[in-house]
Amino acid sequence: MPSAGRQVASRGSARGSLLGIEGVSTAEIAKLLQLARKMNPQRPRPLLRGKRVLLLFYEASTRTRVSFEIAAKALGATTTLVLSSGSSIEKGESLLDTAYTLRAVGADLMVVRHPNAGAPHLMAAHVDIPVINAGDGMHEHPTQALLDAYTILRHKRKLEGLQVAIIGDIYHSRVARSAIHLLSKFGAKVVLCGPQELLPELATTLAPGLRITRSCEDAVRGADVVMVLRVQRERLAGLKVNLQDYISRYQMTMTRLRLAKNDALLMHPGPIIRGLELTWDVADCPQSAIVEEVRNGVPVRMAVLARALGKAK
Ligand code: NCD
């Protein structure tokens, strides 16, 4: 029996969706970053007045969820938050049936975070409104890569030629995957660093020119940008990672950070676990852009939402 939802759904990925960085051109990325520079959350612009933005979060989130919500409201849209707990998802409703339901109540755009890779892509293929990926499993987190590029570009003239060290649990990180795609497209020299279990050799196939090192000192030496990632303990399952060993070999300390260029930027998508992937003093050091990344998430997501709904003026 065809599901009732099919009546409101149309085939083919809805225009305006942002599902990953991998398939987006440098020109399009540059346009989004340019648009983000014109967005000021303190000075709301009613570009999306009357639009309904649905925030569908099947996984924990603080900064991504809140910044999408604030961004949508700064553009005059209304927002509705749907969490997997407390909704019909708990009763076993399928992802697509949830999407059809939200479309039927009048959603104009959906922002989706889901533990499974490809979930936003599936939704975008079945509903006729834009879908924005807010993190799908271990796959992509495109708006994080955009806000990180935006942050880097506020401190460095260009991405091309920058030496970027990405250190930590790269295997489980959608942030790393999206950052690797974006930075490589723009000609940055990306070095990946972590233990074998959290950084398989295969990672070099993500983009041309990637280098892997198992030595944190090697990765950081001479870097313009040092991006530290959280060990995603909730995804470790069968993997054996000795955290004490991890800390001694990969924790970002001031001694290690000093190997980078004097004006190197220290980044982390958050949430940070002080005392694990980085020390307290590193988190709060003058080079730390961690809070700035969060702040920049708002204008960047304003740009993404405006573009998705064709209001990118
Ligand atoms: C990350 C995520 O959820 O992918 N956080 C974020 O969105 N800023 C990274 C993480 O959870 O470690």
CATH number at residue 282: 3.40.50.1370
Instruction: Check residue 9 and give its pLDDT.
Output: 32
**162 is a domain residue:** yes
135 C-alpha to ligand 1 centroid (Å)? 8
Nearest to 233 by CA among 222, 221, 246, 215: 246
Beta carbons of 137 and 174 less than 8 angstroms apart? yes
pLDDT at 14: 65
233 and 299 together in one domain? no
Output the pTM of the full model.
0.94
Q: Is residue 45 part of a domain?
A: yes
Residue 187 Cα distances to 125, 181, 207, 209, 246, angstroms: 31, 10, 11, 9, 30
pLDDT score for 179: 98
Q: 134 alpha carbon to ligand 1 midpoint, in Å?
A: 9
Site to substitute for ligand 1 among 57, 64, 132, most atoms within 8 A of C-beta: 64
**Residue 9 alpha carbon to ligand 1 centre in Å:** 30
Provide the pLDDT for residue 252.
98
Query: Ligand 1, atom 12: nearest CA belongs to which residue?
Result: 230
Total Cβ atoms within 10 A of residue 71: 28
Ligand 1 neighbourhood includes 168 CB (under 6 angstroms): no
User: Using CA positions, which residue lies closest to atom 11 of ligand 1?
Assistant: 271
**Structural domain contains residue 47:** yes
Residues 123 and 158 both lie in one domain: no
Rounded to the nearest angstrom, the distance between the alpha carbon of 283 and the centre of ligand 1 is: 16
Structure tokens at 100: 């059809």
Q: Are residues 207 and 89 in the same domain?
A: no
If asked whether residues 78 and 108 sit together in one domain, one would say yes
225 in the same domain as 94: no
pLDDT (0 to 100) of residue 313: 67
Ligand 1 pocket member 227 (CB < 6 A): no
Please report the pLDDT score of residue 8 as a whole number.
31
CA 127–ligand 1 middle distance (angstroms): 26
Distance CA 115, CA 295 (A): 25
DSSP string, the chain: ---GGGGT--SSPPTT-B--STTS-HHHHHHHHHHHHH--TTS--GGGTT-EEEEEESS--SHHHHHHHHHHHHTT-EEEEEESTTSGGGGT--HHHHHHHHHHTT-SEEEEEESSTTHHHHHHHHSSS-EEEEEETTTB-HHHHHHHHHHHHHHSS-STT-EEEEES--TT-HHHHHHHHHHHHTT-EEEEE--GGGS-GGGGGGSTT-EEES-HHHHHTT-SEEEE----GGG-TT----HHHHHHHH-B-HHHHTTS-TTPEEE--S---BTTTB-HHHHTSTTB-HHHHHHHHHHHHHHHHHHHTT---
User: Do residue 79 and residue 167 come from a single domain?
Assistant: no
In a domain, 159, yes or no: yes
161 and 58, same structural domain? no
129 located within any domain: yes
Q: What's the gap between Cα 52 and its chain centre?
A: 22
Low-confidence ranges of the chain (pLDDT < 70): 1-14, 313
Give the distance (Å) from ligand 1 centre to CA of residue 50: 30
Number of domains in the chain: 2
* Closest ligand 1 atom number to CA of residue 64: 7
Q: How far apart are CA 61 and CA 212, in angstroms?
A: 29
Does 13 reside within a domain?
Answer: no
Q: Is 184 inside any structural domain?
A: yes
Atom of ligand 1 nearest to the CA of 174: 4
> Closest residue (by CA) to atom 7 of ligand 1?
64
The range of the structural domain enclosing residue 251 comes to: 142-293
Cβ(172) – ligand 1 distance below 6 Å: no
